Amino acid sequence: MIRIEHLTKRYGGFTAVDDISFVAQPGRVTGFLGPNGAGKSTALRMLTHLTPATSGSALVLGRRYEDLPNPSRHVGVMLDAAAQHPGRTGREVLQLAAMVTGMGRSRVDEMLDLVGLERSEASRRVKNYSLGMRQRLGLAGALMGRPQILILDEPANGLDPAGIRWMRGLLRDFADQGGTVLLSSHLLHEVELVADDLVMIGHGRIVAQGRLADLLTTRPGCVADAEDRTAFADALRAVGIAFTGRADGAAEIEADAARVGRVALDAGVPLTLLRPADGTRLEDMFLQLTADTARGGPGENALGQNAPEQDATARTAPAREETRA
């Protein structure tokens, strides 16, 4: 278990982490999320005693990280995959990790197999590794001592889609076997797929935390589309049902599917789609809760240009792009 209570870090007049408290439980994956500069990395560095806290406490297995006997036997840490010595081979990096944790040489080969690094790759110097290979090597080092806890900062950076799926399965298996995983990542879709619990921070303070299933609640209403979208829109307006358009041309409607179906039937408008509304997506919640900490204003697109206004009364499908992190 990881327990953080009133953890705070100040640099002069700047507060990087401001009185945060949360628990990461055994058998669960806890996603630790926030925009760049929100304080995630600083909090993880305080947890692993790389940065001293101004106040508060951070405990792993009921003790401070620095008080654990041979911490790497209890806690696997990967905060920066690029921090490995570039002049050593991958095997040498893991052999050193095995020595520190008191594990035998056979554990090195076991870890190479686990993270999918071939023997020829293990003999290459780290400076010749891709970022994805460094991530695999860093995770092998973190798991070397058979820890009970994993603390990972952006572990999927540089991995291809197959590698990301492999990472997701590995973390899920680790938690299902009773381990505690604290995972910081900007890949929100992947966090949504693997995490049990979420802690979200902005400006150094927690803005949301709890079980993923509780935070991502089901939205009321439904999603529908019609052969004649103009007639369908007129029928909805005639009975006072509000709706907004989607990028795929369908409409998100603030009424249950049964009522919308009856309205369409009475208006003689054939529907091509009718289903309950999507649940709240993690990306939507993240952007809403951290909007005041994000770079760029809410009315700007990715290029920093003002987004065109959409007229919901003139069209049934104002663009709302469905993106994946």
Residues 109-132: tens digit of each pLDDT: 999 999 999 999 999 999 999 999
Residue 317 has pLDDT above 70, yes or no: no
Whole-angstrom CA distances from 12 to 9, 47, 48 are 10, 20, 22
Give the pLDDT score at 302.
34
Residue 18 has pLDDT above 70, yes or no: yes
pLDDT-derived band at 76 (thresholds 50, 70, 90) equals very high
DSSP E strands in 25-101: the ranges are 28-33, 55-60, 75-78
Residue 320 has pLDDT above 60, yes or no: no
- Which of the residue ranges 39-43, 81-85, 295-299 has the most confident prediction, judged by mean pLDDT? 39-43
Give the pLDDT score at 318.
34
Q: Which CATH class is domain 2-215?
A: alpha beta
What ranges do the domains of the chain cover?
Answer: 2-215, 218-279+295-325
User: How far, in whole angstroms, is CA 267 from its chain's centroid?
Assistant: 44
Closest CA to 156 of 81, 72, 75, 50: 81
CB 112 within 8 A of CB 105: no
Give the whole-angstrom CA distance, residue 200 versus residue 215: 11
* pLDDT, greater one: 276 or 2: 2
Residue 298 has pLDDT above 50, yes or no: no
Give the pLDDT score at 192.
87
Average pLDDT, the chain: 86
Residue 24 has pLDDT above 70, yes or no: yes
pLDDT-derived band at 307 (thresholds 50, 70, 90) equals very low
The letter for the amino acid at 192 is: E
CB 40 within 8 A of CB 201: yes
160-209 pLDDT, tens digit each: 889 999 999 999 999 999 999 999 988 888 888 899 999 999 999 999 99
264-288 pLDDT, tens digit each: 999 999 999 998 876 667 877 787 7
What does the pLDDT average to over 61-71?
94
Closest CA to 131 of 111, 160, 161: 160
253-264 pLDDT, tens digit each: 989 899 999 999
Give the whole-angstrom CA distance, residue 206 versus residue 22: 9
Compute, in degrees rounded to 10, the torsion defined by CA atoms 100, 106, 108, 112. -160
